[in-house]
Structure 1
Amino acid sequence: MARPSPATPTLPQWQRTETLVQTWLKERQQLLALLCALPDMNDANVEDNPALHTHIQSLCQTLMDYISAGYFEIYRELAVEARSLKRDNPGWLQEMLHRLEDSTDAALAFNEHYDQAARRQCSLTELPEKMASLLEKLEERFMLEDQLIISFHLQGSQPVRPVTH
């Protein structure tokens, strides 16, 4: 029976990572749906709109779940897979993780403003502006995360250099 070469992942290893990544990307889609489906903010009684408060609470929870899964599960799994395939580039990975910090900070700040009803009530007038800022940071985050996935999980060569702005 032939052994897999060191540069070829075992099928179970690759499938495990693939399942984690696909589940995480579905969570990203849920996050995007929540970001894009914000209830009407033009209502005169926006502070008393239970649908808005429920939506924001769901958004904050999904946002924190997504960010946490990236840091504590996905990035680590991609790095392990890359090391086992001799495709890792620790300097490049550290640079990518550092570049992800801005969007993590933005997500944490957004959650801080809107996760609890009392704080949310005081910040509703700023919500459209904060949502726009968060979306901008998340757009960059998604691009960087996609580079990690492509470089470490889907591509058989050394990681590509990250896009710089």
Structure 2
Amino acid sequence: MLSKLEETRKVYAGKHRAIDAFLDARQSLLVEFIRLAGLSPNRNKPRPLPCSEAIQHFCDLLVDYVSAGHFEIYNHVMHAYENAKGEQLALAQEIYPKLRACTDFALRFNDKYSGASEDDLLSLDEDLNRLGPVLEQRFRLEDQLVKALDVVDQLVAETSP
């Protein structure tokens, strides 16, 4: 996921301040996800459960990330798409419900683990294993929106006097 983030950053860095900030937030979220999940090259070594502060920090980043997506980035993207026609608008209308499903999953994860009891932590690894692919799907969908936004911006620039 981090290598895909770097690819996206190379293509879109500097084109929109909001997108740059969003990609920075994505990177912070991914780094904390990797830490929390204990992903490392040595998978044979058992890991201790993360502390409650680490879980809370990750949950805060997760909620901030999905909130920024809906209240900052998507509003900007949808406004641009409303001014566009055809494929870009259809793409946004297709992607948004899928993003909403990813958001709902992330918020359920947050509800379960924000302030979690020790008993809740018994299913943390299993839930992180489910959250990983959801985040990966979300990032792919967001990248499609960003790519389409870039196309819209280029079309607007070409038609502007």
Same fold (TM over 0.5): yes
The code of the aligned residue for 1:138 comes to L
Displacement of 1:99 after TM fit? 1.1
Match in the other structure for 2:123: 126
The code of the aligned residue for 2:25 comes to E
Partners of 1:27 and 1:33 in 2: CA distance: 10
RMSD (Å) for aligned C-alpha atoms: 2.5
| Structure 2: gaps spanning 5 or more residues | 1-13, 39-45, 156-161
Match in the other structure for 1:58: 57
Partners of 2:51 and 2:17 in 1: CA distance: 33
Match in the other structure for 1:23: 21
Local SS of the residue matching 2:36: coil
Partners of 2:71 and 2:15 in 1: CA distance: 14
Report Cα offsets for 1:19-75 as digits up to 9, x if no partner. Answer: 0110011000000000001276743xx4xxxx6211111100000000000011101
Contact map agreement 1:79 1:88 (CA 8 A) in 2: no
Match in the other structure for 2:103: 104
Report Cα offsets for 1:50-105 as digits up to 9, x if no partner. Answer: x6211111100000000000011101101223344657744431211111122112
Match in the other structure for 2:73: 74
The TM-score, its normalising length taken from structure 2, stands at: 0.73
Percent same amino acid among aligned pairs? 32
Match in the other structure for 1:136: 133
Q: Which has the larger radius of gyration?
A: 1
Q: How many residues align?
A: 134
Contact map agreement 2:77 2:149 (CA 8 A) in 1: yes
Displacement of 1:106 after TM fit? 1.3
Give runs of ≥4 in structure 1 deviating > 3 Å: 39-43, 82-91, 154-157
Partners of 2:86 and 2:150 in 1: CA distance: 9
The TM-score, its normalising length taken from structure 1, stands at: 0.71
Local SS of the residue matching 1:121: coil
The code of the aligned residue for 1:122 comes to D
